[in-house]
Structure 1
């Protein structure tokens, strides 16, 4: 462990001692006073060693700068001394070398194809994520070195490489002063440190969003819209009988007539929040905001979609034809709510399988999923309904179970329990092959967007977090509702 980290750990322990006494509204005990004083002595002894470590780090950084400048200048015939003396950065020298080669019309002999700063930022992003406990596949070269750095160290490294500040100047700054300087750079789009935080946050949200623990994806259909304007869909359908007619020899084909049927109007809305890394988080080197806070926002976005999908089913609002989603007119509602029984499943199957199109013609629907609230009783009932080869008849005899080993995807979600409270909790049956509810995203992008927020005079680094989606009931024929009972 570095001397600096040892000193910080001892300072933290001192703070814990004083905080504990303050919380209990008392003075330090004799043992606490003795430990505090011993820690202070150790801190005082470590202080010159820490200064020496930081001095050596600054010397190493300067040596690396001089070596890289010399290497670049040798390849293009430039004099390196002036660049070394005036504190020029490696990036500035590389640009000067490229400019000189362009003026001379000579081919590039120095490798400036990929900006060194991009490589360093990529390594810093991966190192920061790994330190925060985020899994990084194939880390960038150099990421392991950044993994052991604090936020302060990364800020110093980034600002030193920008060429606007020397390492020795930044190392002498307190964390508070360094934070103030980093805050001023936060609004500079080319500044490295804010860019590292941006990219780390964007990468950190992917896994939490993917594994948010939602269930709406299992019974809805994903869609895409290109803008926020209401999109009235139309469906061109055959009017009247749709059967093909027999054509006699040399007979004429009868022309079909089409009508345009109005379907649901799909529309996107924007949902979002903002979050920040506070000044205290930076000073305390709290990288938890990268591993936890953005990930929680990503999960909250997906859970909001999940909740809205189940609210659409539970609230049973009117759909595109002006009638409730589940209604007697739509022939997809049991008149009496029940618990989980074989009779209820058979009744729901019958309603689903006997649906007709808008002209009264038969359509083929296959019941293959159940949407249920969380219920131990329902779980037990389902085992009996689908796993028992025989059933007890009203005549007290055994008969073959017609539902034995029926293949249904059982989708349980506690959102229904929460929506129902102490009231009757509905459950549903449907056909996955037909889209009954569609979740649209702007241009098909279902991953939340993150953007650095330009809110001046705010004490903290702030990011905006948003996602564009819309949820629409598209076909009431492919789902049946059982009003259920109180659980």
Structure 2
């Protein structure tokens, strides 16, 4: 028996008699089950704090139905990093995220009647098809992370582990040991109580477990022997010795057990049926084959039991969420709203109705408590997910934010290019220069390879964002504006932030990769000061047309033409008149206007803040590099995320946008400092 010792006099509730006890929900005390029983549990921070109190070899007692996937991974890593040998006893159950925690043990011991369950993570997503695809991708990544942990512990290929996870595999003692998920099985002793958990959340939980839920209420523990009698005796006996004809010098009892288990899975037997085959076959594959055939022949139509509430259907909850969202959008004056049966409800009544649909009908003397309960996460598929009420608020806030983003009067998108970056690492924008003019090939001579030089700028993403909160008091006061006006303004702010970055490139005149400022005499794009006239426009056009490539291949110039005239608001009228006039406004006689329709005028107040006289010309970004605005994965709209409030009693929302702005080339830009 290994032991651990206290390192200090601290008092973590997870440390009992020098052992680490991880009982309840992975991720902590954050929800109620459908009978109103508050679940308990442990968080990654609590485990790390508890491990800090211990030294030497460590005993961990584990009994959990699962919880938050990332919490399970964090706790696994914390225990793996512990400086000492770790022995984990699965006292009754290590399911879902709890099975990830179990894999941290140097030695894993199954107690009598205990089980391990591994499965794919699950969640419920509310939103557009893109949001569903994003959620699906996240679930795949979580599953892959868990599969790597299981594979490292069991020695099995990840592909096989992923198959076991997809089928939601429940393992008793000897099965877990044969598959590499445990090292030893205790043969006798008191059976522990299962943790409080709604086992109907799992798709393939043993039927008796799903029906009885094995809830260990305080003072009235229900043990697996009472709730799942058909499972109690099967897998706890020692693996019987197989006949000599079955096990050779190169075949072990573990190999045979795994072979039988694989046959049972191929036949799609339940875990109860698999347990029975393993027990009665006594290590003989031929006997196991006959038992499987007989079971399939005698199998009655399966009992219909609803195990998974995560099936996506248009149930009352879905219809309520959609209808309430549209009703609130109408009140907020946002597109997509409609009058329906929820239009007459206050937000407090919508919160109450969301609890009713969740099957919660407790009496709240304080309306603030009721609204707070409606905002709390709920369980789905062994993981916690956002409540319907918060999803409704978030959907209205998100649409308001996007409305604000779309309504923001910004000009940068007209004359800049849009780029895509897939991560936050610096990205290179390489210009390979021009291809040389084709060389004459004499009769019978060989073709020669041409060479091209390259240069480039580096662009990098950054995250910009802010937070706002919806308090319970705002819900009680039916303040729809709390989650419509604020996100609308934040949407405008997100777009304004990008505009600030773009025009800062022009006004700050940054240094480029060649060590020269964007606008500089060396770059031949900083002109002599002049007002906006036909003559100065002509000089700007000529300067841009005569820009040369890096290698001097286009000796006469690249013939780049300006398309946009960027001016401070003080020069907007002068620029508009010049671009529209048939005759040169600066002349006293009717002289044709050479600058007519030379460029599209864009007036910008940010330019005025820097100079009321300086003006710029820019080429078409589709044909010539100028300034690029890059977005993470091409998503140019801001994202709204939410979580249960910690600093406030309510829900906190975060608006963020991931973008980067960079000047790519000087040759498609010209500056005149004005006069």
Shared fold, TM over 0.5: yes
* Equivalent position of 2:223 in the other structure: none
Q: Distance in 1 between matches of 2:432 and 2:312?
A: 58
1:307-326 residue pairs with structure 2 within 5 A?
307-326=500-519
Q: Contact 2:376/2:387 (CA < 8 Å) preserved in 1?
A: no
- Alignment partners' CA distance in 1, 2:468 and 2:547: 48
Distance 1:181 1:303, change over 3 A: same
Distance 1:184 1:191, change over 3 A: closer
Alignment of 1:38-437 (within 5 A): 103-104=302-303, 113-136=313-336, 144-165=340-361, 169=363, 173-185=365-377, 189-237=385-433, 242-259=436-453, 261-336=454-529, 338-360=530-552, 361=554, 362-375=557-570, 378-380=572-574, 382-384=576-578, 386-389=580-583, 397-403=589-595, 405-418=596-609, 420=610, 423-432=611-620, 433-437=623-627
Partners in 2 of 1:331 and 1:480 — Cα distance?
8
Deviation at 1:196, TM superposition (A): 1.4
Q: Is the 8 A contact 1:314 1:426 kept in 2?
A: no
Q: How many residues align?
A: 369
Unaligned runs of 5+ in 2: 1-199, 202-206, 212-299
For 1:431 and 1:325, the matched residues in 2 are separated by 15
Aligned-pair CA distance for 1:365: 1.0
Which gives a bigger RCO, structure 1 or 2 (Cα 8 Å, sep 6+)?
1
Query: Compared with structure 1, are the counterparts of its residues 179 and 298 closer, same or farther at alpha carbon in structure 2 (3 Å cutoff)?
Result: same
Residue 120 of structure 1: how far off its partner (Å): 1.6
Could you tell me how far apart the structure 1 residues matched to 2:604 and 2:486 are?
A: 24
Hey, what's the Cα distance between the residues in 2 that align with 1:339 and 1:459?
58
Q: Aligned to 1:281, what secondary structure does the other structure show? A: helix
What is the CA deviation profile of residues 372-418 of structure 1, one whole-angstrom value per residue up to 9, with x for unaligned ones? 1112x54145314541335665xx65433322x32421111111112
Structure 1 unaligned blocks of 5 or more: 1-90
CA deviations over 1:93-112 (Å, ceiling 9, x no partner):
xxx9xx999943699xxx98
Residue 465 of structure 1 and its aligned partner are, at CA, apart by 1.3
Deviates more, 1:296-305 or 1:409-418: 409-418
Whole-angstrom CA distance in 1 between matches of 2:575 and 2:313: 66
RMSD: 3.0
Tell me, in whole angstroms, the C-alpha distance in 2 between the residues paired with 1:319 and 1:283. Answer: 55
CA distance in 1, matches of 2:531, 2:411: 22
Alpha-carbon distance between aligned partners in 2 of 1:430 and 1:309, rounded to the nearest angstrom: 13
The separation in 2 between residues aligned to 1:163 and 1:434, in whole angstroms, is 61
Question: CA 1:196 to 1:102, structure 2 compared with 1: closer, same or farther past 3 Å?
Answer: farther
> How big is each residue's C-alpha offset from its partner over 1:98-144, in whole Å with a ceiling of 9 and x where there is no partner?
x999943699xxx984333122211111111111111117x6xxx61
Distance in 1, matches of 2:564 and 2:312, equals 58
- Normalised by the length of structure 2, the TM-score is 0.51
The two structures have a TM-score, normalised by structure 1, of: 0.69
2: CA distance, partners of 1:105 / 1:164: 25
Which residue number corresponds to residue 453 of structure 1? 643
Distance change (3 Å), C-alpha of 1:206 and 1:102: farther
- CA–CA distance in structure 1, aligned partners of residues 407 and 577 of structure 2: 28
What is residue 444 of structure 1 aligned with on the other side? Answer: 634
